[in-house]
Amino acid sequence: MKGILVLHGPNLNLLGSREPNVYGYETLEDINQALEKLAESQDVEIRFLQSNHEGSLIDALHEARSWASGVLINPGAFTHYSYGLRDAISAVSLPAVEVHLSNIHAREPFRQKSVIAPVCVGQISGFSWRSYLLGLQAIIDILK
């Protein structure tokens, strides 16, 4: 196994202070540290990128073809409408797991549809910061 790319979409840099009743009090750095600890315990390299810009996430996916075996992605709001991000995941042919902190299926109707999920091997949502850990473990298991 090569490495795993972890992508955080728009507004996730505000975790810990952004609507903590929905997204929790953990910061993005807290989540990244927990992911790093899990990856180290499984002898897996991970690289992180958070961006509020769709093109940056797409560029990171394209670049990952040369070094990664899989992708863990929280597309944030791009989940619901970014066909560009969806097509990039499909084009790079790396298995991807989509994660969300909140249960998108129990929220507003516009948040319940993911255009990303059909090109991912799975989706995990609703377990707060633990969604990321569950997603990372899933992609590691899939790649073994």
DSSP E strand boundaries for 1-144: 3-8, 45-50, 68-74, 96-100, 122-125
Q: Are 121 and 97 in contact (CB under 8 A)?
A: yes
Say which residues have a Cβ less than 8 Å from residue 46's Cβ, sequence separation at least 6.
3, 4, 5, 6, 35, 36, 39, 72, 136
d(CA 78, CA 4): 20
Question: Active-site residues: which are they?
Answer: 23, 100
3-state DSSP assignment of residue 53: coil
